[in-house]
Chain A
């Protein structure tokens, strides 16, 4: 009997020792060769050009290995993965691909290496100014822009041409064009204007663009929250009217980028608000709308400011926990370099952050819309650059959605959004 108890103790002890050794092994720093880990989301398209670029970097840095590790698919999951690892001081990765809206947050948290001192004076000049702004927090540069996005208005050039219509410059013109074309086409399956009204980050982008077109924004110059509630409510009412009058389908309130992109790509709509990536898919062989799509700037409002698309995109940053920060910075430079961005633009549906690539002969041949895209990206506006961006976004999402589906009046939704933002932002002080 006694001996059995001893056996149990022994087994338990052995387990414990095994556990400790395993933990010890995992924690031991790796010896030669040096390994850099690069976290990024796999690029869809003709083939991910990134592994090739990583091999190139290894070739130029003997003794260094770069491991590209895939991020989860959804932006929420990516953010969560970063937050848990960085808050837990994990040295699990060196270079990270960040959605531009996270850069100020991560910089504020002290999770990123400050790149300012390592940059040459004119190193940021070739980039879009709004992308540089998105990577800057408190006058320090924390991340280099890697790819660029801007909200666009896609339209069916064949349908507009059939009725002698020009692409709309204002929403009023867009609504008139939708009425005209649908009256004449008599196709009940043809929707008018598609955009993203599901309760998620995309809704905030769409509402922001509506606010800007109406001459206001989420924050004033002085940081005031929703400085012009009447105009903001008017913008929301306008979006709600689009759905009520069937210019946009009822399911707009469930639409994200892909849902709306597919419907438009299947030929079921005249106008679509989306990001530049959609163009490659519309022009792909076998696409129902191949050669029938063009894009322009988002519309403005009649007698208002011209339309502006919201910018977005990804930045590359170096983790403060990296054991090889100099090499990691070199990798960031390599991946954001002109040749690397050119290779990515040729291989995938991602737009570069360096302006001169938009005039590159080979790129323009592959994508004739590039020079036009450059103009729209220069004109684009970033979302509020604040470390509290996700807090702001997740606070206003249900309010904006409530106004769109008619659960709340636009005035009520704006008032509630203001009150909640005020409470939560105050608690950060």
Chain B
């Protein structure tokens, strides 16, 4: 190693130090602490603090509320991400084909995304209002009990989430569409490819990687979904919209069962990490093949 390399290396480490330090204090340390807490019965208000081993996890294994929250989280994630991707791509293609007004369309789209989740939730609270809500008025006064019916509440929340985050997918895809060189399309035209063939053979494959990335972000977000259900339904009715993070919030912040709540947190963490790892693996292989 030359002297210059050594200096560069040292400077590199120096520049990395704040990040590593911040990550260490803000992520790794609390992470390990939560793991440790999850192995305890720890309820400070009642002076309960003793080692529990895997008691908390054993309880979760047979906890119907946990099973329901897990199922709700997974259903919410799959349906909302799927809808967001389909609609996001459609919106990106639509904007891409626009001749004028792209900027306006994009701004309108981004407006939904830029809104804080709690504001979106309040907005949808009014849309879903059982008697005066716009949706029920639009349905011809057919009073659907959006947030109070166990069959409708989760779909209603998925709808709100799709409205809010579909623009994120759309903008990412739109950026990628702009980067596809026009000569590719010209060549396709020369070869006599129709609209459908162009879409399926050229546009969508070109979108592939950016879509994977968008799906990764959206999935990780959806697995930790909290604010919409917290504001709109509080997890009800009958716990049908309670996600794992809402359950964890109730255990940790509302009832201060730090051990039990941490176990829930660890499960969410494990779930998110597994999914992230699977995606990254997929992303890497797709890079290799592409």
> Which residues 237-286 of B have a CB within 8 angstroms of A?
237-240, 242, 250, 253-257, 260
Contact B234 A5 (CB under 8 A): no
Greatest chain A CB density within 10 A among B4, B17, B45, B257 is at B45
Chain A residues, CB < 8 A from B254 = 76, 79-80, 390, 394
Would you call B233 an interface residue if the criterion is a C-beta within 8 Å of the partner chain's C-beta atoms?
A: yes
Tell me, in angstroms, the Cα distance from A105 to B131 when the chains sit together: 38
Which listed segment binds B: A331-339, A358-366, A397-405? A397-405
Chain A residues, CB < 8 A from B15 = 8
Contact with A along B1-35 (1 / 0, CB 8 A): 00010010011001101100000000000000000
Contact B239 A398 (CB under 8 A): yes
Would you call B78 an interface residue if the criterion is a C-beta within 8 Å of the partner chain's C-beta atoms?
A: no
Tell me, in angstroms, the Cα distance from A268 to B129 when the chains sit together: 14
Contact B255 A5 (CB under 8 A): no
A250 and B145 contact, Cβ closer than 8 Å, known pairs A109-B44, A198-B234, A428-B43:
yes
Residue of A nearest to B146 (CB): A254
Contact B236 A200 (CB under 8 A): yes
> Which residues 192-210 of A have a CB within 8 angstroms of B?
197-200
Q: Say which residue of B14, B146, B238 sits within 8 Å of A405 (CB atoms).
A: B238
Tell me, in angstroms, the Cα distance from A198 to B241 when the chains sit together: 12
Tell me, in angstroms, the Cα distance from A404 to B258 when the chains sit together: 30
Would you call A214 an interface residue if the criterion is a C-beta within 8 Å of the partner chain's C-beta atoms?
A: no
Tell me, in angstroms, the Cα distance from A390 to B145 when the chains sit together: 28
Residue of B nearest to A8 (CB): B14
A5 and B10 contact, Cβ closer than 8 Å, known pairs A76-B254, A253-B145, A254-B130:
yes
Which listed segment binds A: B80-88, B97-105, B147-155, B171-179? B147-155
Contact A199 B145 (CB under 8 A): no
Contact A200 B234 (CB under 8 A): yes
Contact A402 B238 (CB under 8 A): yes
Tell me, in angstroms, the Cα distance from A83 to B238 when the chains sit together: 27
Contact B236 A251 (CB under 8 A): no
Contact A391 B238 (CB under 8 A): no
> Which residues 211-266 of A have a CB within 8 angstroms of B?
249-255, 259, 263
Q: Say which residue of B148, B234, B235 sits within 8 Å of A250 (CB atoms).
A: B148
Instruction: Tell me, rounded to whole Å, the shortest Cβ–Cβ distance linking A107 to chain B.
Output: 10
Contact with A along B142-175 (1 / 0, CB 8 A): 0101111110000000000000000000000000
Would you call A427 an interface residue if the criterion is a C-beta within 8 Å of the partner chain's C-beta atoms?
A: yes
Chain B residues, CB < 8 A from A416 = 64
Q: Say which residue of B44, B147, B240 sits within 8 Å of A87 (CB atoms).
A: B44
Chain B residues, CB < 8 A from A388 = 46, 255
Tell me, in angstroms, the Cα distance from A196 to B146 when the chains sit together: 16
Would you call B96 an interface residue if the criterion is a C-beta within 8 Å of the partner chain's C-beta atoms?
A: no
A402 and B145 contact, Cβ closer than 8 Å, known pairs A8-B14, A423-B59:
no
Residue of A nearest to B153 (CB): A254
Contact B238 A254 (CB under 8 A): no
Contact B149 A401 (CB under 8 A): no
Chain A residues, CB < 8 A from B150 = 405, 407
Contact A5 B14 (CB under 8 A): yes
Residue of B nearest to A107 (CB): B45
Contact with A along B207-243 (1 / 0, CB 8 A): 0000000000000000000000000011111111010
Chain A residues, CB < 8 A from B59 = 423
> Which residues 375-425 of A have a CB within 8 angstroms of B?
387-388, 390-391, 394, 397-398, 401-402, 404-405, 407-408, 416, 420, 423-424
Instruction: Tell me, rounded to whole Å, the shortest Cβ–Cβ distance linking B74 to chain A.
Output: 18
Chain A residues, CB < 8 A from B146 = 254
Contact A401 B10 (CB under 8 A): no
Contact A199 B236 (CB under 8 A): yes
Contact A391 B255 (CB under 8 A): yes
Would you call A60 an interface residue if the criterion is a C-beta within 8 Å of the partner chain's C-beta atoms?
A: no
Contact A198 B46 (CB under 8 A): no
> Which residues 83-98 of A have a CB within 8 angstroms of B?
83-84, 87
Residues of B within 8 A of A (CB): 4, 7, 10-11, 14-15, 17-18, 41, 43-46, 48, 59, 64-65, 129-131, 143, 145-150, 233-240, 242, 250, 253-257, 260
- Chain A to chain B: the 7 pairs with minimum beta-carbon distance, closest first: A199-B236, A254-B148, A251-B130, A253-B148, A398-B239, A402-B238, A391-B255
Question: 11 A-B Cβ contacts within 8 A?
Answer: A198-B234, A198-B236, A199-B234, A250-B148, A252-B148, A254-B146, A254-B233, A259-B129, A263-B131, A390-B254, A429-B48
Residues of A within 8 A of B (CB): 1-2, 4-5, 8-9, 12, 76, 79-80, 83-84, 87, 105, 108-109, 197-200, 249-255, 259, 263, 268, 387-388, 390-391, 394, 397-398, 401-402, 404-405, 407-408, 416, 420, 423-424, 427-429
